[in-house]
Chain A
Amino acid sequence: MNRGLALKLLGWLRPIAPIILALLIGALILAALGRDPSAFYLQILRRTVLSPSGAQEVLVLMAPLLCLAASLIVCFRAGLWNLGVDGQYMLGGVFTSAFAAAATASMPYWLAIPCLVAIGIAVGVVWSMVPALLRAYQGVNEIISTLMMTFLALSTGAFLIKTVFDDPESPVPQTIFLPIEDRLPRLFDSLVHIGVIAAVVIVLAVHVIMTRTAFGLKLQIVGHNPRAAEHAGLNVKRLTLAVFAISAGLAALGGAIDVLGVRGVVRADWHPSFGLLVVPLVFLARFHGVAVIAFVAFFAVLTIGGESASRRADLPHDFLLIMMSLILLILALTDHLISRLKGR
């Protein structure tokens, strides 16, 4: 088999092999624990894809995940590690939830929702400016700074909920509950709210912007080769700030959609942690918008179906974390193999 053919095959295998291998290894672990792998995987499918309400739940879960994916695509393509997405997501959700009841009470519905969304996004953007400025002007490693900002976000969010944003009528510290009729409108009679559509559109929009516009190209140049970016006359500092702002805004949007579409309320102990899990999905999809939708769908199926299957098999659903990490590792190895084959 010549190298060209091998490379082509590997290119196809690349996204699929890690998933299949991970499922296989998962099956082995299940068997080792005395559970029936086929029953497990079947239950996953039955709970999600094969059930009308299950499928809707999957779609609803995909909404905030897709926002996170879009956020990560933007910053990874630009070569920056925004590991603060969880914090930005949380604060976006907290602020949106905090003003939700007040907004819907004082403004017409069609105005309130966009305002709330805008608030959420703005908070995320502002929150990212500290690591962004540090990185752009001082060259400070954004991994540390964004991680720190996440910790700060969790504390700040909790503090705000316990004090300023607290619902005085509820025994537990939480924001004012947003009744279902005031949340994001749903499609037909289903659970799927327009946030899902919006998220899909956003991911596709991000993809288009990154691949078909001048701005997207500039980000990619900075991401691939910052020296070439300088040489080409790009303003790397300003682009860095822009990347952080967009990435954080999208993550915060995810939080806002989560609140406005599903949750309706935020408790002080809310610790969203989807960010780290979306990272392997984004890498699997090679930052490609359409592919990422497929992988996020796969992950949503695994999460919702996996929860049910895990309960039936008497296992914690964190079992899926193992699967995700396997996918990430096998993917890294496959990529390494491919670049070795391409020859250096």
Chain B
Amino acid sequence: MHQHVHAGAPAAPVVSLSGITKRFGPVLANSDVSLQLYAGEVHALLGENGAGKSTLIGILSGLLQPDAGSIVVRGQTVSIAAPREAIALGIGTVFQHATLVPTLTVVENLLLGQPWWVRLRRTQTLERLAELSRLLGVSIDPDATAGELSLGEQQQIEIIKALWRGERVLILDEPTSMLTPQGVRELGVVLNRLRSEGMAIVLITHKLHEVLEFGDRLTVLKLGQVVGALEPQRFQEMTEDQARRFIVSTMFGRKEDSVDSAASARAPVAAAKRQTSVLQQPALLESRGICTVRRQREVALDGVSFTVHSGEIFGVAGVDGNGQKQLAEVIAGQMQASSGQVFFDAHDLSSASVAQRQALGLRYLTDDRLGEGTVGSFSVALNSVLKRVGEAPFWQRGWTRDAQITSYASELIATYDVRTPGPDAPIGTLSGGNIQKLLFGRELIRAPKLVVYNKPTYGLDVANIQAARDRIRAQAQQGVAAVIISTELEELVELCDRVAVMSRGRMVGIIEACDDYAEAIGGLMVGGDSR
């Protein structure tokens, strides 16, 4: 635990949120959230994907407006209608994704937004940059092109930008998710200095040790609600172990009265039984040392190796953006690996196209249902045969046979319970859950051997979620293996024989089903690999 000492009872909070609620259509992103930010304190905000952290930040920084609740800044109730107003109120935000213009230099990026009719205040800007750099304890080359700096340096500039006009509240959204251990250490130094300056800092993170090291106060969000909070005093009193357990159980722990808990309680025992037999099956998918080239603002795979056996359900856990999508695309054939190999059913996939892999029985259910999985303007029927254009019986010598497609689609719709006015309805009229069911059907038909699922139950309602999970399980009984990429720990715990955790493009560990499955996986997730 850090050595920071509080000087008695804190003064009034700098920012106070009460009862913040925000809806996006059917999804309740924030539900009655209240928290306070104090000067000279780091307030850690924890929660898994979909917990509502980004929405809260959006509200504080002026990008979103709450449906209900109030925001009080330095004693005055305010409404933050635009990013400009947040800045005017003294709230600076450093987002997860850089807002620097990559082709401009550091100085030019900092000059953006100043009144355009004046000459470029280069000297003043350079001075302020130097001042803030000193404050943060970092050194940046003002004439370097922003896009060519390391992610850590880019982030330092973002922090400087956020503090430019003397902001007193600094929000950091998952600042370490893309940093090297060195970068994280430097960030820690910066945070300490800012705190001693009296800044009120919000640190959004999922990394337990960062919370322990930097946090003074913490709030845990889950599914839009505050499920746990620790004030500085109580926090300080705890030992590291106690704090860790408190956080993990609040974030990942089982609720006594939920459907999932019963299932999850069953799962480890049943899973353990299956597991021993499944792991003795022949290896079906084998990846050896896959690496990819780093694309802009994305994590690159760094030597990922694992094996999936016939009939095994293999989970991939981890915070979004740690290489899971790239892994799925490499296996499916949509992305080329720069080194390493993938073997499927004893075939070397190095030169296999997407279509060839599908023919071998390797299927991919993408998480991007609308952007990639379907063509929005096509009908349900056409989308159901999207991956089989030109094949019999839907096409004969190139000619479309509508009747065949329609009857096939109708069958799919019936078997997978897709709610739609009919096979000819445009797919855009279906709800997300029904589109997902259709995609399920599309991938599972025609003798699949292994299906890669990317977030298979994302955005579905409870009934559909359960149906999807049952389906995956049923398929596994019949020998169809699955690789499930998910940010829902409960789901992975319930379904998977083994779960691997991805962090920064590497697989940091593989956990086999056991009694405290969730805690073990969760611990690996929050632990990361910066130890």
Contacts and interface: CB of A to CB of B under 8 A. Distances in A.
Given A221-B386, A231-B373, A213 B358 contact: no
B198 interface: no
A234 interface: yes
Nearest to B368: A227
A232 B376 CA distance: 14
A279 B404 CA distance: 36
Contacts of B355: 233-235
Interface in B506-520: none
B387 A224 contact: no
Contacts of A290: none
Interface in A182-233: 212-215, 217-218, 220-221, 224-225, 227-228, 230-233
B399 interface: yes
B375 A235 contact: no
Count chain A CB atoms within 10 A of each CB in B377, B386, B395, B399 and give the residue with the most: B386
Interface residues of A, number: 18
Interface in B359-410: 364, 366, 368, 371-378, 382, 386-387, 389-390, 395, 398-400
B233 interface: no
A221 B334 contact: no
B378 A231 contact: no
A234 to B, nearest CB: 7
A225 B395 contact: no
- Interface magnitude class on chain B: 20 to 34
Nearest to A217: B389
Contacts of A221: 375, 386, 389
Contacts of B376: 224-225
B387 A218 contact: no
B375 A225 contact: yes
A233 B442 CA distance: 14
B103 interface: no
Nearest to A209: B398
A53 to B, nearest CB: 41
Contacts of B332: 231
Contacts, number: 65
A231 B366 contact: yes
A230 B382 CA distance: 16
Chain A contact residues: over half helix, strand or loop, or mixed?
A: helix
B374 A214 contact: no
B398 A227 contact: no
B354 interface: yes
A228 B375 contact: yes
Nearest to B332: A231
Given A231-B354, A233-B353, A233-B355, A214 B389 contact: yes
A216 to B, nearest CB: 8
A228 B400 contact: no
A212 to B, nearest CB: 5
Interface string B325-346: 0000000111000000000000
Contact of B398 (A214, A224, A225, A235): A214
Contacts of B395: 213-214
A320 B173 CA distance: 58
A217 B366 contact: no
Given A214-B390, A221-B389, A233-B358, A228 B353 contact: no
B399 A233 contact: no
A224 B353 contact: no
A232 B354 CA distance: 7
Nearest to A230: B334
Contacts of A227: 368, 371-372
Nearest to A211: B400
A235 B353 contact: yes
A230 B398 CA distance: 20
Interface string B302-343: 000000000000000000000000000000111000000000
A220 B372 CA distance: 14
A242 to B, nearest CB: 13
Contacts of B372: 225, 227-228, 230-231
Contacts of A225: 371-372, 375-376
B408 to A, nearest CB: 15
A279 B188 CA distance: 59
Contacts of B387: 231-233
Nearest to A208: B399
Contacts of B354: 230-233
Interface in B287-304: none
Nearest to B358: A233
Contacts of A233: 333, 353-355, 358, 387
A246 to B, nearest CB: 15
B445 to A, nearest CB: 15
Interface in B168-207: none
Interface in A222-265: 224-225, 227-228, 230-235
13 contacts: A218-B389, A221-B375, A224-B377, A224-B378, A225-B372, A227-B372, A231-B366, A231-B372, A231-B373, A232-B354, A232-B387, A234-B389, A235-B355
Given A224-B378, A227-B371, 4 more contacts: A213-B400, A218-B390, A231-B364, A231-B387
The 3 A-B pairs with the shortest beta carbon distances in the complex, nearest first, are: A233-B355, A214-B390, A233-B354
